[in-house]
Structure 1
Amino acid sequence: MDSCEDPHHQQEHQSKCTMRVPGPIIVGAGPSGLATAACLTEQGVPPLVLEKSDCIASLWQQRTYDRLKLHLPKHFCQLPLLDFPEDFPKYPTKQQFISYMDSYATHFSIRPQFNQAVQSAEFDPEFGFWRVTTKDRTFISRWLIVATGENAEPVMSDVAGIEKFHGSVLHTSAYKSGSEFKNKRVLVVGCGNSGMEISLDLCRHNAIPHMVVRNAVHVLPQEVFGFSTFGIAMTLVRWFSLRLVDKLLLLIANLTLGNTDKLGLRRPKTGPLELKNITGKTPVLDVGALSQIKSGKIKVMEGVKEITRNGAKFLDGQEREFDSIILATGYKSNVPTWLKGCKFFTKDGMPRAPFPNGWKGENGLYTVGFTRRGLLGTASDAVKIARDVAEQCRTMPTRDPKTSCNNFP
């Protein structure tokens, strides 16, 4: 029984409530959580979605820059059971993707409980359920679905001396537009997709970006003769080995983009697809930054040795002044901060089991959004999780004739 069944008691002591949830608890209302909730709903299983922010897809709504577009064609990024609108362009904008998420939640009647940051989640082996605690209450369920994903928290740079800098320092999660940096000298630390796109955006707003290349990086064309490079790769891997496909992709990249090593963008020795599988590091899909690098408008810098009061010293001996520093240093999982007593995740908050087996743990634990394969991986895992939970519901003994997912001690 719920400890909050009396409505007057619930209003008085809401913070002390323990609520029994008949279906799974989903932590996170981003694309991963919404996709899983939709698939469960379609299977007749009622999920409860807990979201720490005040909206769905908060990373997209609150932590992305204005000019962001999907890097892959929309058919690789749509969620299960509901396609993107036909009139959306091949590469939907940030606002179009957010509107799709809103329509998706409405279509499947997904109503997350907002402002419910999970403080702890732990399996109770005595009673066989998960106990999930937020600031307001505790929820119990036989299933816990971790949908907070790989990109839950910004990774801040550990560059020496950054605390000395007298200009503004911000992570890409706080960057909106280059219009705030007109005629400013900006140091962008990081050369992944975000670092490249923000440097390009700064250029278009007449800022002066200097992009730090800390590691080797694969840069590929977004399209070849009107066809998505990613789509070409996905087709080729069905017929050829990963290493052969990597060789073909690098041949295409060299023919269309030229030798990026000469621009200060050294390629890793491991091919782009193989590197993605091993480390999760995504190749950069060029949307215009490379031409600005070639023209000198985006200046590529070697690694930073030290941040100074007014700028930075670089490993090649150069020293330059900057007005602002933007950290394009990526994101990380936050699972270890709240999931307790669970060895399914590594200390970095990623499932120990490699893809495609990382979606299911023990004792009713599931994960979605941790495949390192973007929204395509999310869609695949959401479908598998919903089917697995629905099968358990169908075979589970019950004391409640209204639902086969309501058998708690």
Structure 2
Amino acid sequence: MPHATSSTKYMPKKEFIQYLDEYVEHLNIKPKFQTCVESAFYYSGEMKWTVKSRNLTSGKIEIYASDFLILATVENNEGYIPNMIGIENFKGEIIHSSDYRSGEKYKDKKVLVVGSGNSGMEIAFDLSNYESQTSFFVRSRIHVLTKDMVYTAMLLPKYLPISLVDTVTTKCTKFKFGNFEELGIPQPEEGPFSVKRSKGRSTVIDVGVIDNIKLGQIKAHITSSNLITTKNIAVVFNEEE
């Protein structure tokens, strides 16, 4: 089902949700909510999948048979908070990104975002817009691109090898943002699309974080997991609070 001709290139959340609702109605899809799949077996003799599920509300067991089975549980469907030294004594609030709603409640507070993926970057940007004293950890080398860079680069592999697309894209990011190392964001030696192909790691889309780092509204810290400890209401960076 195609998108409406009036849709923008980058569809806002409200419009995307509307599209999903229309998609479900158009194809008469009937999602089963509050249901957990407990097992799935393929019977080669019958050439059928048998799926056992449990209704989380009633506890009722249901069995489904199908010709095909699609696993669409995504790779990050469960939140994970790492076990840092001293975390049990930390007096501040600790939340997972999936529980984050708005930076309004953190106005004028010191906030540390652990992680520099798309979720972490978007949260850091939102926090800085509410005048929080925002810092985030960068553990892995990452590529940061704009939406338009990603859109354009995704069209180029039809005509150019990935290595050349990476070279062009990397030069564009340097021209747009400057030296990432000076901003506290180390980049991989491989280009963004080679990293995606070899490691499955997605490019980070800049929503305004880079400009806010340059303005001093956000601080990036290069670290590794063993350099993070908590101390009451402070976070220790390499033994410096």
Q: TM-score, normalised by structure 1?
A: 0.54
Q: Distance in 2 between matches of 1:92 and 1:157?
A: 33
Superposed displacement of residue 123, structure 1: 2.4
Aligned partner of 2:214 in structure 1 is 294
Is the partner of 2:121 in helix, strand or coil? helix
Matching of residue 146 in structure 1 with residue 81 in structure 2: no
Equivalent pair of 1:131/1:140 in contact (CA under 8 Å): yes
Is the partner of 1:187 in helix, strand or coil? strand
Aligned partner of 2:97 in structure 1 is 172
1:258-279 Cα distance to aligned partner (Å, 9 max, x none): 0111011011111111001111
Counterpart amino acid of residue 124 in structure 2: S
Counterpart amino acid of residue 240 in structure 2: Q
1:213 to 138, 148, 163: 138
1:238-258 Cα distance to aligned partner (Å, 9 max, x none): 222211111111111111110
Superposed displacement of residue 220, structure 1: 1.9
Q: Distance in 2 between matches of 1:141 and 1:89?
A: 37
Counterpart amino acid of residue 195 in structure 1: G
Aligned partner of 1:313 in structure 2 is 236
Say if 1:188 and 1:132 are closer, same or farther in 2 by CA, change over 3 A: same
Matching of residue 265 in structure 1 with residue 185 in structure 2: yes
Q: Of the two, which has the highest radius of gyration?
A: 1
Aligned partner of 2:107 in structure 1 is 182
Equivalent pair of 1:199/1:289 in contact (CA under 8 Å): yes
Is the partner of 2:29 in helix, strand or coil? coil
Aligned counterparts, 1:231-310, within 5 A: 231-303=151-223, 304-310=227-233
Say if 1:142 and 1:239 are closer, same or farther in 2 by CA, change over 3 A: closer
Is the partner of 1:109 in helix, strand or coil? coil
Q: Distance in 1 between matches of 2:79 and 2:51?
A: 24
Counterpart amino acid of residue 238 in structure 1: K
Is the partner of 2:164 in helix, strand or coil? helix
Is the partner of 1:145 in helix, strand or coil? coil
Is the partner of 1:133 in helix, strand or coil? strand
Q: Distance in 2 between matches of 1:231 and 1:239?
A: 15
Q: Distance in 2 between matches of 1:89 and 1:245?
A: 25
Q: Distance in 2 between matches of 1:205 and 1:88?
A: 30
Q: Distance in 1 between matches of 2:28 and 2:70?
A: 19
Aligned partner of 1:130 in structure 2 is 49
Q: Distance in 2 between matches of 1:180 and 1:189?
A: 18
Counterpart amino acid of residue 230 in structure 1: V
Q: Distance in 2 between matches of 1:132 and 1:243?
A: 43
Aligned partner of 1:92 in structure 2 is 11
Say if 1:126 and 1:241 are closer, same or farther in 2 by CA, change over 3 A: closer
Superposed displacement of residue 127, structure 1: 4.6
The answer to which of 95-104 and 117-126 deviates more is 117-126
The answer to which of 276-285 and 230-239 deviates more is 230-239
Counterpart amino acid of residue 151 in structure 1: N
Counterpart amino acid of residue 28 in structure 2: S
Is the partner of 1:233 in helix, strand or coil? helix
1:338-360 Cα distance to aligned partner (Å, 9 max, x none): xxxxxxxxxxxxxxxxxxxxxxx
Q: Distance in 2 between matches of 1:281 and 1:164?
A: 33
Is the partner of 2:94 in helix, strand or coil? strand
Q: Distance in 1 between matches of 2:217 and 2:190?
A: 29
Equivalent pair of 1:302/1:314 in contact (CA under 8 Å): no
Superposed displacement of residue 217, structure 1: 1.1
Is the partner of 1:144 in helix, strand or coil? coil
Q: TM-score, normalised by structure 2?
A: 0.89
The Cα RMSD (Å) is 1.8
Structure 1: gaps of 5 or more residues: 1-80, 223-227, 320-409
Counterpart amino acid of residue 30 in structure 2: R
Q: Distance in 2 between matches of 1:318 and 1:302?
A: 14
Higher relative contact order (CA 8 A, sep 6+): 1
Superposed displacement of residue 113, structure 1: 2.0
2:82 to 147, 157, 164: 157
Counterpart amino acid of residue 130 in structure 2: H
Task: Provide the aligned length of Structure 1 versus Structure 2.
Answer: 232
Q: Distance in 1 between matches of 2:233 and 2:207?
A: 31
Q: Distance in 1 between matches of 2:10 and 2:186?
A: 28
Superposed displacement of residue 125, structure 1: 4.5
Aligned partner of 2:20 in structure 1 is 101
Superposed displacement of residue 126, structure 1: 5.6
Q: Distance in 1 between matches of 2:104 and 2:14?
A: 19
